[in-house]
Amino acid sequence: MNATLTLTKLDVMRVIRNGRYLIFAIAMPAALYLIIGKQTTTADGVQFKAYYMLAMATYGAFAGALMNNSIRIATERKSGWTRQLRLTPLPGWGYVFAKVVTSLATTVPSVLVVFGIGAFLNHVDMPAWKWVVNALVLWLASMTFVSLAVAIGYRFDPETAQPAVMLVFFPMALLGGLWFPLGGTLEKIGKWFPTYQAHKLGTDIISTGKVSATSIAVVAGWGVLFALLAIVSYRSAKEQ
Amino acid sequence: MVAAQVGLVSLMSNGKTGHTRLGTPEMPRDTRSPNGAVVEFENVSKTFHSPKGPVHAVNGLTMALQPGQTIAFLGPNGAGKSTSLNMLLGLSRPDSGRVALFGGTAAEAIKHGMVGAMLQSGGLMSDVTVKEQVELWAKLHPRPIPVIDALKRANIADLADRRVDKLSGGQQQRVQFAMAIIGDSPLIVLDEPTTGMDVENRQAFWATMRERAYEGKTVLFATHYLEEADQFAERVIVINKGRLLADGSSAEIKASAGAKRLSFRLPGVQDAVLHRLPNLVSVERQADIVRLQTSDSDATLYALLDAGYRPAEIEIQALGLEQAFIAITAEDNNHADGTTATLEAAR
């Protein structure tokens, strides 16, 4: 266990040192929120500054969970790093464990930075418990994309992992209303995605303090689907 | 080492089963003491399926490595070296036969920190420093030596704070080397350990490996540099086409390969005449000087004399391990295929 934790700690440090993570998961959503988030309109029953804070925090958390790990797992499988680890006393699950924990850890700063901008610069106002619950909900929802990262990392090569991530994630982010609020047909489609529903959990908490079972079911459903994909990909990669 | 254990393994293979006999008939198999062995292969086979049909990468390989030996593992490309090492380390499973490390499975041995392995380049992290990488390895093993000692022995103490992925190939090899020794494991397995290292670091590397061997550790290495095997290995194992071909000290292999260089001055001799000589491995000419490599220098020379030639300045020289290696693999290919072996095929 000690060995696994050491690997995990090192994996987290590597992510923080890596420029791509900082840009996609922290700097980009924070910058977009700073630029766009000041409008005084409303969306989904909350002030736009709160809507867009949740949107960018969701985007950052999911991107952080997904992008870094999927490409790293694919690269490290190819480079022989995972083989090298198999020649140490590290338990077989240690590598994936470290990756999952790393993903979960790296979603935290994305959420905190955007929430910080919301609270201190854009003056989003809500009771303390709603801040905490919103952050926790986002963190739990990002598990969905932690699983997807493992699935893609074990299924694709380093060269194809990145396009695969983009192809899955950008439509989900767009249709989920994370870049701008949607209406009409696009929103009807978007409702089926975990991006949309994870964000809606947040706006519902702010506006009514209650969440819908549909939102939880959609996010959890995708979570289960991606987890199954991850298990299948991991197993078939191990057999090769 | 008991003299009876070594010597060129008979090349006879029983064609039907592909089974290779170990040693000469008067040598009982149990002199290899399977119980005390660090590594045991017992009639191990592994076949890959390619579009062109099955490839018998390893074909009835049997060998045992004793503690405290430094063993070079040699073979031409495609001989089954990597496949054998992968099975040894538990990275792949044999189709049939038994592979044991310290009497158990590879997974168990690795779990208990009994194996320090250095694969061919690539098994390193990105975005970490040399020190962090080696420290991680120290944490992963149950009985590590101090990190600074490993860095010094691998001659990378001055690189400790550099990023691993920014190092040159030779420097990365040294990082892997530090990782292979930090666990203080009784078995060290090295696949092409000195590729990309300069002469100085190669010397340092082997000096450290010698110390490990003195401490009673078993060091098994695969290499392309046959002079390294010649200099540093007490025992040389040659495999070809997935079978054990020779097993003994470097001197014994050279002697039993019988590979000699025969050179003489013979103006105006036709190439065709030279190529008809028996036991030939290679022919080289420089004006009037002819240099032949032969597995039986006496037979080759007599045939030349019998053909009516009278060469001058005859010299017969024993060859290095490299030439011995080429000779025995070429001979093996010759036997099995019934075709003329070429140097290219042997390498």
Selected residue of A4, A87, A90, A238 to mutate for chain B interface (largest B Cβ count, 10 A): A87
B295 vs B245, residue with greater confidence: B245
Task: Specify the pLDDT at position B258.
Answer: 65
**pLDDT, greater one: B347 or A51:** A51
| Nearest Cβ partner for A88 among B120, B132, B140 | B140
> Nearest CA of chain B to the CA of A7: how many Å?
7
Please say which residue of B255, B270, B290 terminates a domain: B255
Among candidate residues B219, B230, B223, the one with its CA nearest the CA of residue B193: B223
Q: Identify the pLDDT of residue B7.
A: 38
* Nearest C-alpha in B relative to A1: B140
Average pLDDT, chain B: 81
Question: pLDDT-based confidence at B336, cuts 50/70/90?
Answer: low
pLDDT band at B346 (very low <50, low <70, confident <90, very high): very low
Looking at the structure, do residues B220 and B310 belong to the same domain, yes or no? no
The answer to whether A183 touches A43, Cβ cutoff 8 Å, is: no
With CA atoms as reference, the chain B residue closest to A89 would be B111
Interface test with B, best of A88, A93, A240 (most B CBs within 10 A): A88
Q: From A14, which residue of chain B is nearest by alpha-carbon distance?
A: B127
Task: Please list, in sequence order, all residues whose beta carbon lies within 8 angstroms of the beta carbon of residue A131, skipping any fewer than 6 positions away.
Answer: A115, A119
Spatial distance between the Cα atoms of B303 and B275, rounded to a whole number of angstroms: 11
Number of domains in chain B: 2
Rounded to the nearest angstrom, the minimum Cα separation between A188 and chain B is 42
Q: Least CA distance to A3: which residue of chain B? A: B140
The DSSP secondary-structure symbol of B290 reads E
Q: Indicate if B330 and B250 belong to the same structural domain.
A: no
Contact across the interface for A81 and B112, Cβ inside 8 Å = no
CA distances from B259 to B262, B276, B281, B294 (A): 10, 18, 9, 6
Question: What is the interface pTM, i.e. ipTM, of the complex?
Answer: 0.82
Higher pLDDT, A239 or B43: B43
Question: How far is CA A105 from each of CA A61, A90, A112, A142, rounded to the nearest angstrom?
Answer: 10, 21, 12, 11
The encoded tokens of residue A1 equal 């266990």
Which of B255, B289, B323 is where one domain is finished? B255
A2/B contact by beta carbon, under 8 A: yes
Q: Which of residues 86-125 of A touch B (CB under 8 A)?
A: 86-90
Q: Are residues B262 and B157 in the same domain?
A: no
Buried-state track B286-323, b at ≥16 Cβ within 10 A, e below 16: eeeebebbbbbbeebbebbeeeeeebeeeeeeebbbbb
> Are A81 and B122 a contacting pair at CB < 8 A?
yes
Which helix (H) or strand (E) is A236 found in, with range? helix A213-239
B18 or B308, which is more confident: B308
Amino acid at B142: P
Q: Is A7 at the interface with chain B, CB within 8 A?
A: yes
**Averaged pLDDT, A78-99:** 88
User: How many other CB atoms are found less than 10 A from the CB of residue B1?
Assistant: 12
- Domain residue extents for chain A: 2-239
pLDDT attached to residue B263? 92
Residue of B nearest to A78 (CA): B122
Residues B91 and B133 in one domain: yes
How close, in Å, is residue B105 to chain A by CA atoms? 13
- pLDDT given at position B224: 78
Nearest-CA distance from B125 to chain A in Å? 7
Which residues of chain B does A1 touch, with a Cβ-Cβ cutoff of 8 Å? Answer: none
Instruction: Give the one of A13, A14, A87 whose C-beta lies nearest to B89's C-beta.
Output: A87
Q: What is the pLDDT of residues A1-52, one digit of tens each?
A: 778 898 999 999 888 888 777 888 899 999 999 998 878 788 877 888 999 9
The answer to whether A226 and A220 are in contact (CB under 8 A) is no
Residues B269 and B219 in one domain: no
Q: In terms of pLDDT, which residue wins out, A89 or B260?
A: A89
Check whether B8 has a pLDDT greater than 50: no
The last residue of one of the domains, among B255, B278, B303, is B255
pLDDT tens digits for range A123-151: 888 999 999 999 999 999 999 999 999 99
- Partner-chain contact B91 A2, CB within 8 Å: no
* Residues B189 and B266 placed together within one structural domain of the fold: no
In the Cβ-directed half-sphere of B205, how many Cα atoms lie within 13 Å?
Answer: 28
Contact assignment for B123 to A7 by CB distance below 8 Å: no
Return the DSSP state at B3: G
B120 to chain A: which residues are within 8 Å by CB? 80
Is B169 in the same domain as B71?
Answer: yes
State the Cα–Cα distance between residues A165 and A70, nearest whole angstrom.
8
CB A30 within 8 A of CB A56: yes
Range scoring the smallest mean pLDDT among A91-105, B12-26, B78-92, B189-203: B12-26
The contacts of residue B4 (CB under 8 Å, 6+ apart) are B27, B31
Using alpha carbons, list the distances in angstroms from residue B129 to B135, B136, B160, B214, B224.
Answer: 10, 11, 7, 31, 30
End-to-end Cα, chain A, rounded Å: 27
Query: Within this chain, do residues B38 and B154 fall inside the same structural domain, yes or no?
Result: yes
**B195 and B309 both lie in a single domain:** no
Instruction: Using CB atoms, pick whichever of B89, B111, B136 lies closest to residue A10.
Output: B136
Instruction: Tell me if chain B has a CB within 8 Å of the CB of A231.
Output: no
CATH for B75 = 3.40.50.300
Chain B CB within 8 Å of residue A1 CB: no
Interface test with A, best of B82, B105, B136 (most A CBs within 10 A): B136
Q: State the pLDDT at residue B30.
A: 34
Which pLDDT does position B202 carry in this prediction?
85
Q: Is the confidence at residue B227, as pLDDT, over 90? A: no
Tell me what the mean pLDDT of segment B279-284 comes to.
84
B230 and B298 share one domain: no
Domain that holds residue B292: 258-346
Looking at the fold, whether B42 and B185 belong to one and the same domain comes out as yes
Most B CBs within 10 A among A76, A84, A97, hence the mutation to make, goes to A84
Question: Using one digit for the tens of pLDDT, what is the confidence trace for B147-166?
Answer: 999 999 888 999 999 999 89
Task: Give the per-residue pLDDT at B3.
Answer: 37
